[in-house]
Amino acid sequence: MISFDNTEIAFKGKSSKDLKKARWLFKMVSSPRMVKFGKWATNVALTMRLPINGIIKKTIFHQFCGGVSIQDSLKASNDLASRNVKTILDYSIEGKTSEEDFDKTVAEIIGTIHEAKKNENIPFAVFKVTGICLFEILEKANDSDEGLSEKDQVRYDKLKERLDQICNEAFTNDVPLFIDAEETWIQNTIDRLVLEMSRKYNGKRAIIYNTVQLYRHDRLAFMEKEIELARREGWYIGLKLVRGAYMEKERERAQEFGYSSPIQPNKEACDKDFNAALELSVKSLDVLSFCSGTHNEESSLRLATLLEENNISKDDPRVYFAQLLGMSDHISFNLANNGFQVAKYVPYGPIKEVLPYLIRRAEENTSVAGQTGRELSLIVKEIQRRKQTN
């Protein structure tokens, strides 16, 4: 039976200096007050144009990002590959609003597809729809893409054109493409668009993957419906399973606008649905390829057990595990060491442009119960182990 307790395997690729830096960083992130202050201080420094890039690059950027460009990230990718872990290059630029920036992002995403095509260590590409379109257009189209104003329809049509350009590139280069899930008030739009692309490009195998956030109480039923639709219509479906990333925002908005929260009532309900989704996925491999994107030990162990129980090979290309760079190395590397298909999300981009992502990562680490404490305890355990063996 696989174990996630082996910190020697988990941190083999990190020097003792890196571990001590990570220990300091996770101690900082464990304090909501420090994260809040850090966010404020960073914004002030940026406003005043203070030279903070060097500090950020050596600390939080070094922990959670691969580099400033695709080329710059390949060292991190090669380091992961040396330990049987693949890379998903994630251009982590947020908050853009101009058509010029959206076109630049499309070009960058296509760049990651081309790199994946020639690089055996990169099995997937990924992007967020909000990276290529105004948020408000997705929101206006959420209930229906009919009834948009003439100006909004032009922008929506441009989004569909960009999306098809990216998906066509993935199809032509035979590179599976993850499309990230986002807030519920734009997710219906994303789901419709991904379904359209899946029908168009998933005729022979899953190239286009939607993302299912199982902290939503309606997503297990959504999965069942989508899998059945693919089976009935004769195409393949790709799904990435995650718990979710917008919980506080979702609950606050539901309260503000007076509608029922889309979020599970508690963690137990979320865990139950996530594990049920894993079981459904393993039973649906006739039409489904999927990636379990989780930092949860119990769910990762559950999927490993399901594969064994159903006589599915550990290296079956239809089943991947994934975690974020700089987090849950004890899961990623112990799985890979046991022969499972594992990939790390490797965010990249210019430091200043990636800052919103990094701040969100710090806030999420603070808000997820036990996440930072677990990372810290594992790092401390490995530092102690090395002291005793040296």
> What is the rounded CA–CA span in Å between residue 299 and residue 296?
6
- What pLDDT is stored for residue 1 in this prediction? 73
pLDDT in tens, 173-186: 999 999 999 999 99
pLDDT in tens, 95-108: 789 999 999 999 99
pLDDT in tens, 293-303: 999 999 999 99
- In this structure, is residue 383 part of a structural domain? no
- In this structure, is residue 388 part of a structural domain? no
- In this structure, is residue 274 part of a structural domain? yes
CATH code for the domain in which residue 168 is found = 3.20.20.220
- In this structure, is residue 19 part of a structural domain? no
The alpha-helical segments, DSSP class H, found in the chain are 7-10, 16-29, 32-47, 53-58, 60-64, 70-81, 99-118, 135-140, 150-173, 184-201, 219-233, 247-257, 267-283, 297-309, 329-337, 351-367, 371-389
- Of the listed ranges 54-63, 118-127, 129-138, 212-221, the least confidently predicted one is 54-63
- In this structure, is residue 123 part of a structural domain? yes
N residues, the chain: 390
- In this structure, is residue 200 part of a structural domain? yes
pLDDT band at 312 (very low <50, low <70, confident <90, very high): very high
Q: Who contacts 190 (Cβ-Cβ below 8 Å, separation ≥6)?
A: 129, 138, 179, 181, 182, 210
- In this structure, is residue 259 part of a structural domain? yes
Domain ranges, residue 180:
64-353
Say how many domains are in the chain: 1
Top-confidence residue, 358 or 277: 277
Check whether 40 has a pLDDT greater than 80.
no
- In this structure, is residue 134 part of a structural domain? yes
* 315 CB burial (10 A radius; 0-12, 13-18, 19+): exposed
pLDDT in tens, 268-296: 999 999 999 999 999 999 999 999 999 99
